[in-house]
A and B are shown apart, each in its own frame.
Chain A
Amino acid sequence: MAIRTMTRKHKVITDDSDLELYAQLIQEDAAAHEALTQLYRRYSQRIYTYCRKITGDNYVAEDLLQETFVKLLDSGRQGRVIENFPAYLMTIARNLCLSHKARSVRQFVPVEDFHLTARDVPYEQKELLQLIQTALEILPEPYREAFVLREYNGLSYLEIADVIGESIDVVKVRIFRAKKKLRDVLAPYLNDLKTRTDD
C-alpha cells in the first residue's frame, strides 16, 4: 500500500472573498481543495448550527453539513453563477434539511443528542439555553427556521427571504412572532433570572 503525502505549495487564499473562492472550485484539485477548505471554515459552523437546530440531531446535521459542501463543490465545478454566496449555501442546506425531514419518519431523539455544547457558559446561561432549545422545538417550523436563520446564522431579512423563498414582509413577521412566542414561553424564567441577578 503506497500512500504519498502531498505537500501543499499553492498560495494561501484566506483573504479572498467568498465568490472568489467559489470561482476557484472549478480549478484543479489543489486550488479547489484550498478554496473549499476556506469556505468550509468560514461557513461550516453556521450551516452545522442551522442543520442541528432544524433537524434536532447532531449526527444528521453532520451528514447534511458534509452534503451541503459537496453540492456546493458540484455547483462550482459546473460553473454555476451565483450572486449571494451565503444565501446560496444556506439554500442548499435548507433544501437538504427539508428533504431529510420529508423522507425520515419522525423519531425520538436520544436525550444525549440534545446536550449543550457551549463551553464556559455560566449555569444560568446553560439553563436558559436549554429552555430556548425546548421553546424552539415547540415553535411552528417556519417561525423556528426564520429565527434560526436570523439569530444563529446572522442572515439579514433580505437574505432570509432569498433562502426561504418568501417576501421580506413574511420574514419580518415570522421573526417577530418567533421572538414574541419565545419570550412568552421564557418570560417566567427570564423574570426569575432578573430577580436573582438583582439580588
Chain B
Amino acid sequence: MEPLDDLDLPTPEGHLHAFMDGELDIQAEQPLFDELASNPALRGEMRDILAIRSAVHRDVVAPPATVEAALLAAAGLSTASAGAATTAAAATIAAHGSSSLAVSLRYALGGVAAGAAIVYFLMSGTTGDVQRGAVLPPPQASTGIAGEPRIDTLRVEVPIVDHAAINAQRNQLARERANIAQAWTDLRAAQDAFLRDRDAAAQESRTPVEPVVATAQTQMAILTMQASVIQPAQVTAFPTRSFEVSDPLPLQIRFRTLASGLRSDEAIPASVRDAALPNTALSISLPLSEEHRVGVEFGREAFRQQFRTTLNGRPVEYLQTPTLFWFGANYQFVAQSIFGLDGLRPFIESTIGYALEQGPLARAAAGLQYRPIGPIAFSLGFDASALTFKHDGLWQSTTKSGFTTGISIDIGSWP
C-alpha cells in the first residue's frame, strides 16, 4: 500500500515519534535530546504531538453498563437460573403471543442466556416490544453482579437469523404454490373442456347455447376452485423477489472442486501440478425463484486430450493434459428438501462455456446440497464435462467425469 521509504525513520522526527511511543533504542536517545535542545521546530512538533496525545487520552469512553449484562446473558453466564429462565421466558412470550421472538430465541446466540435476559426484561414490568435501549423501570430483584451499577436499560439482541425456520416456511410456501398452480392448471383444463363440449354440442344441435349461463357457470367453477385451494393469507404470504434499491443483491458465491480426470495410478502432469488451483471453479449466481438460479462460472481445469492425427504424412498420437481456464453461463436447479430434512436438497446444474484457446465446453452435475443453518451450504455431486477443441483444422473432443464438492455462501438480502 505504502512505499516504505521512511521505513527506518532515521530522521529526528522519526526518532522523536519512536521515543514518544517508547520504542526508540536507548542508544538513539541522547542524540535526540541534543537535537531537541537545538531544534525549535522539533520541540514544536513534540509539543503538538503531546497536545494531541493528551486530548486523545482524555477521550475516555467506557461502554454502557448494559453491554456487560447483555454479554453475560448472551454468553449463557447470567446469574439467573438458566433453565428456569428459559422455561419462564418461553411461557411468558407465548402468553404474550410473541411467537416470532420465541422462534428467533431458539437460535439466538446462547439461547438459554437470551431467555434469562428476556425474563429479566419481563420481570421489570414491561410487556411491550423489545427495543434497543428501551428505558425500563428498576428491576425487582438484582440479577447482576454484586456491587455493579444498577441496570436501567436492557437491550435484547437476537443476532442470528433463523434460517431453518425461514427454509421451512419457504418450503411450505413453495408446496402451496405448486398446489395452487396445479389447481389452476386443472381449472383451465376443466374450462377448456367445458368450452369444447359446449361448442361441440352447439355444432351438433345447431342450437344456440345461452352464453350468459355458460359464463356464469365458468365463473362459478373458478370461484369454487379458488375458494377450495387458495387462502388469501397464503397468497399474500408468497415470498417475492422484490428488492429495495438499497438492498444488496442476493448473490450466491460458490467454490467447488472438479474431477481431475486422471487415473489414480497415473502421475500428475507438471501442467497440472504447477497450476494454481487446478480443477476448481467459482460461480456467482442470482436466484430466479426458490429453486432456480443462473449465473456465471469460471474455473481452471485439467483436460486429458488424447487424439490421433497425421504429421508430415505420418500418423501420430497426441497425449497431453493442459490446464485450461474456462468460463460460461451456469444454471442451477435446487429441489425442495427431501427425507424430511430441512436443508438437504437435491440439485442439478449445467454450465455452457468456453475454454480459452481451446473451444466450447459443456458440463452437468447432479447431487445433494446441505444447508445446516445460516448462509453457508455444502454440496456433493457427480459431474461430467465435455470439451471440444481444434487441432490442425480438425475438431477433437474429450470428456471426463467424477465427483464434485462445493461450498457456497449466500450474501446480500433475501426478503
Contact = CB atoms under 8 A, between A and B. Distances in A.
B145 interface: yes
Contact of B248 (A73, A105, A116, A187): A105
A16 interface: no
B52 A37 contact: no
A175 to B, nearest CB: 7
A73 B72 CA distance: 10
Contact of A66 (B51, B74, B77): B74
A101 to B, nearest CB: 14
Given A6-B80, A183-B45, A62 B64 contact: yes
A70 B75 contact: yes
A29 interface: yes
Interface stretch (B14-22, B257-265, B354-362, B365-373): B14-22
Given A33-B72, A62-B64, A132-B55, A3 B145 contact: no
Interface residues of B, number: 66
Contacts of B18: 172
A180 B16 CA distance: 12
B75 A150 contact: no
A129 interface: yes
Interface string A57-82: 00101110111011001000000000
Contacts of B159: 63, 67
Contact of A69 (B13, B75, B119, B141): B75
B169 interface: no
Nearest to A48: B63
A149 B80 CA distance: 36
B246 A66 contact: no
Given A44-B67, A73-B75, A3 B119 contact: yes
B74 to A, nearest CB: 6
Contact of B71 (A4, A61, A69, A180): A69
B77 A5 contact: no
Q: Is the interface of A mostly helix, strand, loop or mixed?
A: helix
A193 B55 CA distance: 13
Interface in B1-41: 1-2, 4, 6-9, 13-14, 17-18, 21-23
Interface of B: 1-2, 4, 6-9, 13-14, 17-18, 21-23, 45, 47-49, 51-64, 67-68, 70-72, 74-77, 79-81, 84-85, 88, 91-92, 109-110, 119, 122-123, 132, 141-143, 145-146, 155, 157, 159, 246, 248, 411
14 contacts: A1-B92, A2-B81, A3-B143, A33-B72, A45-B62, A66-B67, A69-B71, A73-B77, A118-B59, A118-B61, A125-B55, A151-B53, A156-B23, A182-B52
Given A3-B81, A105-B248, 19 more contacts: A1-B119, A8-B79, A8-B146, A37-B72, A40-B68, A45-B60, A45-B62, A48-B61, A48-B63, A129-B58, A129-B59, A132-B59, A152-B59, A170-B2, A172-B23, A182-B52, A186-B48, A187-B48, A193-B51
